[in-house]
Structure 1
Amino acid sequence: MSESNKEPANKSAEEQTEETEAKQKTDARPQKSGGNAPRMLVGLLIGVGILGGSAYAAWHFWKTRPEARQFKPPRKPLKVEFAELKQVDFPVVIPSQGRVKSRAVSGIVPEVAGRIVRVAHAFREGGFFKQDEALLWLDDRNYRIAIKEANATVRQLQVKLRLEQINRASYANAVALAKANLSKAEAALELEKARQSAAIANLRRLNALTQSSPLARNEPQIKEANATVQSAMAELTKAQADLEQRPDQMEADLRAQIDAAKARLARTLTDLERTVVRAPSFPGRIADKTADVGQHVTPSTTLARAIAVDYAEVRLPVPSSLVGHLDSPDPIIDAGGNSSQPSGTKTRVDINATIGGREHGWTGEIERTEARVNQSSQQNFVIARVPNPYGRSPALKDGQFVRARIHGRPIKNVFIIPRRAVRRGDFVLMIDEEKRLRRWRLISLWRDEQTVIARQVEGEDGQVRDLKEDEVLCLTNVDFAANGDKVDDGTSPPQKKSPKGP
């Protein structure tokens, strides 16, 4: 502080000291009684003035003090690791997990009642069977007897039908004979009429018609011929009625009885075939059984439970945010219920399981998706199909817990950012051509435990730009890094560098 600045403060202090001493001398003089109060007030004011002056002097000295020089040591460039970005197609792999289940579970139930007399070697817990293979045999003696009885009934009814057909033929012959007799009677009537005409003509020529007898005029013969015709017509009508009514009804009844008997025979033959209990219409395995030789079973008895072994299914959860990376196997259904099949692209699934302390793998594909989304977790479920789960050892058994890696559609033309280079808030540090750090926030398209996938970054001012080939990414975790900090990557500046930050 300069001397000119100090003088006013020093003079003020000296003047205050002289005033204080003069005051003290004045106070020492004898005063009249009753003048103590004004003297005390003056002393108090003088004390306050001294304190105020001292405080002002101290404040003035502090305010006008010279600033101390600060020493800033030069900052060395930070040594960092770096990587140059390359544009690639990123293969999307969605991790999931689930339990294996058979694609079909079926109960083995007999269709007829009977006693089990024999079982196949495959009919045991854990036994494998082929499609429609015979597994059990029931006692079939009653069914064979029923078949013989049904055959006898059919033959008996067929004999009756043949007899009725013969009777019908006889009635037809009677109709034909009646028609022949009628034709013969009508011909005889016509002949008698001709004779009568000739006789009358001859009598007229002889002028003896009036005196002639009925016999001469051939009238009795005409009457007899008419009677014969009427009798023949009556016989024909009766024969036709007999042919149309009675035989036809009986034949229809017999044919209906024969049809019913044949149906009973066919059902009995089917029941005989059903005494052999067969496997379902898929290759499978017996999961458990509840029947064996000697047991009497009914059509409602479940003898065993079988599971399919041609392929297995795994129900896998997939977050809704990742479903868009999968090729949907489901058809597209319009409002009219018409469907169009999706493209032939199949989504591959790698299945892994730890069995006996060792890792084993299988390959499958997504077959379909479930109809509903889980309301609590908002996850979709896809069904993976694994063919031939028992084709090698160890087998992929029903109920086995597995891990899955679902291969979705690759993300085209992106940059893979190592997870260790990503800071909180998805910020990364890029190195520009001057080897200075620039902060950018990733606009991520995909992330997992190892990587973050992006095409663009956003600056601190909100500006968005595309990432480019050979931009330099800082891999070292630099605490409290700021835009513009100098770095040392141990190399000369690359030809292509990240642009400066905002």
Structure 2
Amino acid sequence: MFNKLLKWTLPLLVLALAIAGGRYIVSQRPDAPQFTPPQVPVSIDAIRVAPQDYRVVVHSEGTVEPRTESTLIPQVSGQIVAISPTFREGGFFEAGDILVTLDPRDYELAIASAEAQVAQAQSALEQELAQAKVVEGDWRMLGKEAPELGLRKPQIAAARATLLSAESQLERARFDLERTRIRAPYDGQVLEKNVDVGQFVSTGTLLARVYATDYVEIRLPLTDRQLEFVDLPERFRGETAQRGTAGPEVVVKADIGRQLWQWSGRVVRAEGAIDTSTRQLFVVAQVDDPYERVADGQPPLRIGQFVEVEIQGRTLADAFVLPRGAVRDSGDVLIVDADSRLERRPVSVAWTDGEYAIVTRGLEAGDVINVTPLAVAASGTLVAATIDGVPPAPRRRPDVDQVAEGRSQ
């Protein structure tokens, strides 16, 4: 009986001793060194901002158009006998230059005929006046007053009317002769020539298309956002053109070949209505004397040329100029605080262009702004900021030093 009891209790005793011994061994093990994983700062570029006055530049584009474009049409018929050497596509002319000459012989003959008619009418009037004077003398000798018919007053009036008509015909013939010499209406250039020497033209024939060269105009579309920053030369009913305010200056740019050329101009007016299809307002910029030769070999600003225009807008006072990428899509920026940690801050952006974002509210002088694109940027992120090109000072890593000391022990 004792042996049977011992057979069952001995294994249990051994198992209990093993468990107790294992617990004792586990309780006597040395503690492992504890350390916190180091937080690695994110390297970024940043700038320190300061308020400044910023001049907004509004960009637009358009096509160069002439100030005035006209069609030359003869007022009389005839054969072209001569044209000016400048009457060619691209030829320049001055106001009053004779561009086309029609055969004047028919009109010279018409003048001679009209002069003869004037002479005949003048002679007939003089005869009537002389006869009236004789009749008046005869009635006076009789001691009576001559009647109106006796004084030939109706005949004299008819003779004077005939003379006046003849003189009018003579004046018309002289005008027609003058119209055989078709003159330039202003200083300009020939855009299109449709006739040449020997061709017969009649009244209404299109001789050429010409345009003025004293200045050119460019229609520029502006959105509501752009109009906010442009001082337009507005005019109101009852005001004369002289009372209108001068518009902002513009810089006209065009690529000709591989070189960029520039011309200076000014916005002179705004059109009267907003385009209903684009909801934009067109303003008109003017460039004076676009065909003037300049010393640096600048080409002329030609009609029909596509150009880009920079309009000098309003000045934003005490604004902060940031790279456009510094402002996130959510409308905030990332500030680097005194502990080198990021902080999100909402800002008010007044103007943006292809390069800069102009902030008017939300920043203070001396703020450090992150300009490095970050996919994920949570507030409190530790950063190593290179500010205005100056790299950050080396940071101490006490947590790493503690790990190294623990491993050495």
The alignment's TM-score, normalised by the length of structure 1, stands at 0.65
2:352: which partner in 1? 447
Task: Kindly provide the CA deviation profile for residues 225-281 of structure 1, in whole angstroms up to 9, marking residues without a partner as x.
Answer: xxxxxxxxxxx2xx432x4665111111111111111000000001011111112x2
State the shift of 1:124 in Å: 1.8
2:146: which partner in 1? 240
Separation (CA, whole Å) in 2 of partners of 1:145 and 1:328: 58
Change (3 A) 1:168 1:246: closer
2:200: which partner in 1? 296
2:250: which partner in 1? 349
State the shift of 1:282 in Å: 1.9
Amino acid at match of 1:287: L
Rg comparison, structure with higher value: 1
Alignment partner of 2:146: what SS? helix
1:228: which partner in 2? none
- Find 2:304's aligned residue among 399, 405, 430: 399
1:86: which partner in 2? 50
Separation (CA, whole Å) in 2 of partners of 1:86 and 1:153: 90
More strand by share: 2
Amino acid at match of 1:129: F
Separation (CA, whole Å) in 1 of partners of 2:85 and 2:306: 30
Separation (CA, whole Å) in 1 of partners of 2:260 and 2:330: 37
Amino acid at match of 1:81: D
2:60: which partner in 1? 96
| Aligned residue pairs, count | 352
The question of 1:421 aligning with 2:326 is answered: yes
State the shift of 1:418 in Å: 1.6
State the shift of 1:142 in Å: 1.4
Separation (CA, whole Å) in 1 of partners of 2:151 and 2:157: 10
Contact 2:66 2:215 in 1 (8 A): yes
Contact 1:330 1:341 in 2 (8 A): no
Separation (CA, whole Å) in 2 of partners of 1:147 and 1:300: 23
Separation (CA, whole Å) in 2 of partners of 1:478 and 1:288: 59
Change (3 A) 1:481 1:246: same
More helix by share: 1
Amino acid at match of 2:101: W
Amino acid at match of 2:159: L
1:284: which partner in 2? 188
- Find 2:262's aligned residue among 361, 374, 397: 361
Gaps of 5+ in 2: 1-33, 386-390, 394-409
Change (3 A) 1:262 1:330: farther
2:131: which partner in 1? 167
Percent sequence identity over aligned pairs: 35
2:172: which partner in 1? 267
Taking only aligned residues, the RMSD between alpha carbons, in angstroms, comes to 2.5
Change (3 A) 1:477 1:71: farther
2:94: which partner in 1? 130
The question of 1:118 aligning with 2:82 is answered: yes
Contact 1:157 1:257 in 2 (8 A): yes
Separation (CA, whole Å) in 2 of partners of 1:100 and 1:338: 28
